[in-house]
Amino acid sequence: MAESIPTWLKRASALAGLLLLLSSLPFAFGFFCVTFILVIEGDQNAISAGLITFMLMAVTLGAGGVVFWHSIQSLQKKKSKILRLPPVWVIAGIFGLLVAAGLFISNSNLVSGLLFPPILLAAATLPPLLAVSWFTRHCAKGLTWRQASAAFAGGATLGVLAALVLEIVFPAIVLILVFNLAEVATKSVEELFKALAGENIAAALTSPGFIYVLIQVAIIAPVAEELAKPLATLAVIRRLSRQDAFLVGAMAGAGFAAVENVLYAGFGFHFWAGILVVRALGGAVHPLGSGLVALGWHDILLGKPRAGRNWLACFGIAAGMHALWNGGSLLVITLAGAQFFGELPPEIDVLGLSAAGTTLALLIILGLVALWLGSSVVGNMEMAEGRDRRQFTADFTLSDRSIAIWALTCLVAIVPAGIAGLQLLMR
């Protein structure tokens, strides 16, 4: 049985939510006033300004409002309803519609500085939530909206902030102050970019810059992010059941993934739809990893036997899948990078497959494995509570219909993204 949350923790959460709410005021002014003026004047920077201010407003106002509201409700001892996410096919369909709507608004420049940012944020949020919906479609019965939304907000704020410190700030400080290697690392990365732009693949793969980027992307980033994502849940997961601890961690990972999706799409704005669709294929990677690490922390905080070994196993699976995703993508991109940093990316073969096909195959496989593993973890904990094995097997096995629905939804979103990309290239 889950334990009650202490009053001091509820009050601290309410205070943190209130501070986030207050910090959202300048960002709200920037979006509703500054961005509005830029849109009226037809400024080309309206979308960029809208994206930045709306994202900051959404994180502070949205996360702060959720945490403050639910903390107050909890202090008043008002019960929260059991989490019931929409079915997977509904979330997938809405995702496809949002991508199509975003393409129409951004290409037509129809008040895009004000309309496009919320569409992008909503589309970026749906793939990780789809994964959690898949995890919980038949098995979850104890997780509440209060727990899930607070975890989502924590992953989108504390998890992102901690990851930035561990992944970027701390390594930079080490390079500058300890090893005095910042200039060397910068020059190495510049040489990597020059090799790619000059179509010299061999030099790119053997350059110190590639090794540095590979270490950053495939080692430092997975370790830092898997440590950071479930941090906001540590204060409460020991009071939850094992199943709810995993799902709360998964919701924190979903919040983290939503912010990361927006950042990736924002930095690659001209191809934002393609970026979102590709990342949607692996939408379960972040929720799965965060849920596994939270499950490991749950056992440690309760002092269970072999908890340390179990935490290492959970963390190893989470970081390993994350590293495979990041490292494999980087390798394929580099192999395809004869002109990746030039005017047009080339289409070359990797083991008989195009670079795009190789990347897509990697992401689809990892995405399906993450969906299967997440559902298996929830199902195994249900079975441990006495459910019939036959029912459990039917619950977590990926059906042909489920895979077909997901593939069709990705196709529906990819087609308009491809058309928009061709329009950009033909200009």
Q: Which residue carries 């195959």 as its tokens? A: 361
Alpha-carbon distance of 101 to 273, in angstroms, equals: 11
Q: What is the DSSP letter of 351?
A: T
Token pair for residue 153?
């907000």
**Where on the phi/psi map is residue 182: left (φ > 0), alpha (ψ -120 to 50), or beta?**
alpha
pLDDT the model gives residue 193: 52
Contacts for 84 with CB less than 8 Å, ≥ 6 apart:
none
The mean pLDDT of 110-130, rounded to a whole number, is 91
AA letter at 315: F
Q: Classify burial at 230, counting beta carbons within 10 Å of its beta carbon; exposed 0-12, middle 13-18, buried 19 or more.
A: buried
| Position 383 confidence tier, pLDDT thresholds 50, 70, 90 | low
pLDDT the model gives residue 424: 40
85, 38 Cβ separation under 8 angstroms: no
| Position 176 confidence tier, pLDDT thresholds 50, 70, 90 | low
Q: What is the 3-state secondary structure (H, E, C) of 91-141?
A: HHHHHHHHHHHHHHHHHHCCCHHHHHHHHHHHHHHHHHHHHHHHHHCCCCC
Inter-CA distances, 370 with 79, 351, 364, 374, 420, Å = 32, 25, 10, 6, 30
Across all residues in the chain, what is the average pLDDT? 77
Q: pLDDT at residue 214 above 80?
A: no
Q: Classify burial at 373, counting beta carbons within 10 Å of its beta carbon; exposed 0-12, middle 13-18, buried 19 or more.
A: buried
Alpha-carbon distance of 177 to 184, in angstroms, equals: 13
60, 156 Cβ separation under 8 angstroms: no
Residues paired with residue 354 on neighbouring β-strands, in sequence order: 349
Burial 390-404 (b: 16+ CB within 10 A, else e): eebeebbeeeeebee
> pLDDT digit string (tens) for 297-351?
999 999 888 888 889 989 999 998 888 877 766 655 555 444 434 443 444 444 4
Give the predicted TM-score (pTM) of the model.
0.81
Token pair for residue 305?
């036997």
pLDDT the model gives residue 426: 40
Q: What is the 3-state secondary structure (H, E, C) of 40-69?
A: HHCCCCHHHHHHHHHHHHHHHHHHHHHHHH
Contacts for 408 with CB less than 8 Å, ≥ 6 apart:
none
Inter-CA distances, 274 with 338, 417, 421, Å = 20, 6, 8
The mean pLDDT of 95-112, rounded to a whole number, is 87
pLDDT the model gives residue 342: 40
Which run of H or of E encompasses 73? helix 63-75
Pick the closest to residue 184 from 209, 163, 150, 219 (CA basis).
Answer: 209
Alpha-carbon distance of 9 to 71, in angstroms, equals: 9
The mean pLDDT of 95-113, rounded to a whole number, is 86
Greater model confidence, 176 or 207: 176
Alpha-carbon distance of 290 to 364, in angstroms, equals: 20
pLDDT the model gives residue 1: 42
pLDDT the model gives residue 415: 46
Token pair for residue 383?
């079975």
* Cα Rg of the chain (Å, integer): 22
Alpha-carbon distance of 221 to 163, in angstroms, equals: 8
CB hemisphere CA count around 343 (13 angstroms): 3
End-to-end, the C-alpha distance of the chain in Å comes to 62
> pLDDT digit string (tens) for 230-261?
999 998 898 888 889 999 999 999 999 999 99
AA letter at 141: K
pLDDT the model gives residue 241: 87
Task: Work out the percent of the chain whose per-residue pLDDT is above 70.
Answer: 69
**Most confidently modeled of 47-56, 286-295, 413-422?**
286-295
Alpha-carbon distance of 182 to 114, in angstroms, equals: 39
Residues comprising the chain, all counted: 427
